[in-house]
Chain A
Amino acid sequence: MGEDREILREIWDGRIPISFSLSSDDCCTLSPPDPHYLMVPRMSYFPIVLDKVKKYFTRSINSDLKIDEIWLDFEGIPLKWNYPIGVLFDLHTGGKTIPWPLTVHFSNFPEESIIRCRSRFIVLLSCHSIYREAIESHFLAAVKEADAFKHRGQVVKNMQMQDHKQLWTGLCNDKFDQFWTINRKLMDCNGEEGFKYIPFRLFLKDEVPIQRLQKPFGEDGSRLTLEDLLKNVLPRTLNENYRVTIQGIEPPWDTPLQWLSEHLSHPDNFLYLCVLQSEL
């Protein structure tokens, strides 16, 4: 694999400043508490980073509220905790609002909008430790799904339990080397020129993300680019008002898909593309 450590490092080091303020519904003090500020890795997930915030706001809320039923909203829209923070940031702000002001809630959990289903996650969300376990299992499921695209699931199947654990702890503890020792195997092409298919999710604002089969190379062996993907996946061509961002930047459309997948993917091995409306 043509590993470009410089790029990988920059991607890994991406952080967003976030300002957390307590929702007025849950506040029990006379004056609302000051907002809390944190630098949060783009690659991470909210359940991993919210410990300090929860602790900070505990004393300002009613004691009968459960702190583990925490959820966030931006401008009234609940944030889905199962997407990487960076993706949520790009999707909701277009990467422009710094620091990112979020409201913290401890009540009225919006089950329908965050997880619109009655699944294990609902049950698991009620306890903090299992909440973390929920995101871990979600993460690993995503890794497996991505490998199903890339290698028909063969690489993940041959990995051991401790490898999975190392991926997760590497991400949780922000250890680049620990994470990549394992992730390198997932990014390997197994002697072939590229992946079977590129695992990606394309986000249109307010819509369900799109997943499709996308080969990294054309039938004539030519490298397919970001443009090819967009043409293939989007039902209509984008006009000037739209821009496509990955990891908060707009990569040139002639960037090869294989390279993008290898370098700009999130830790769950998916490439997250956000199609945003340009601010005119």
Chain B
Amino acid sequence: MNISLPERFIRRCRSNERDEAVIGTRQIYIIPTRYGFAFAFVLLLMWIGSINYANNLGLLLTFLLAGVGLIAMLHTWRNLLGLTFRLGHSNPVFKSEQACFEIQLINPRRDERPAIGIRFKKTDNAVYCDIPPDSEQLAKLYLTTERRGRLPVPGLQVSTIYPLGLFYAWSYIELSGETLVYPAPGSKQIKAEIPSYQLNQQGDKGVGADDFVGLRSYRAGDSPKQIDWKAHAREQGLHTKQFGGDRADLCWLEWDHYPHLDREARLSALCRGVLDAVEQQQAFGLRLPNQTIKPARGETQRQLALRALALFGETAA
């Protein structure tokens, strides 16, 4: 069900100082569903019938069901009341991928809360779950990203029709939190106009992993894999094999390498460069107009670089 209310009148349920949003009494909206209206119509028929046949038992049944309808409204409302939300972990994604938000639904009550639906206000496909008493459940909501940068959690809409499906209660939740959207990686064809490789001046210290360089005598702490066991078997003592290859190329990814592209395309191209470098296990550095990241390799470096690219041009970097 999609109900649009004038924005300024909407009561939202916002995160408190513990980053939890709790649905309060005044933040729940409720209207009858079409089944609710159908139920009312059936009751009207039953009422008219009972009056016509002067049948008091019929009236009694009609009024019992009317009572059940009213009670159902109360229970539907109560099914949302006090429900607590917390934003869970969310991984950064590349632009135009699906961002996944993990939302924790906490039921602090001793009663089960079945049929809680949660979705982003702007999308239609809700996730439904039954939350057992005094427990938590994780709902994963996906959103296709449209621009790079920070992506705050969009407004959520939580709803329920439990217990009878006669009423639809819903609440708007605004959680504080965000995820990062990296630029979409550019295509591999885009080549930098200026080659960006640079030799490491102090390479080949014997700590690489490529070429055999020579042997040295064993020092405590050396990896058993690198011990020359054959020499040991010939009773020549313990020796450690040394490998070179650490004098590999160092790669600089630079903003200025792509003068023919506009801003977003440059960021995309740089993003591709970062990904390629990580794939080839190259050390790389990133030079943006306002920021320079020193060359390094590995996961931390990757995240640092992508983050810089994602937030490029945003005020609070």
Task: Report whether chain A binds chain B.
Answer: no
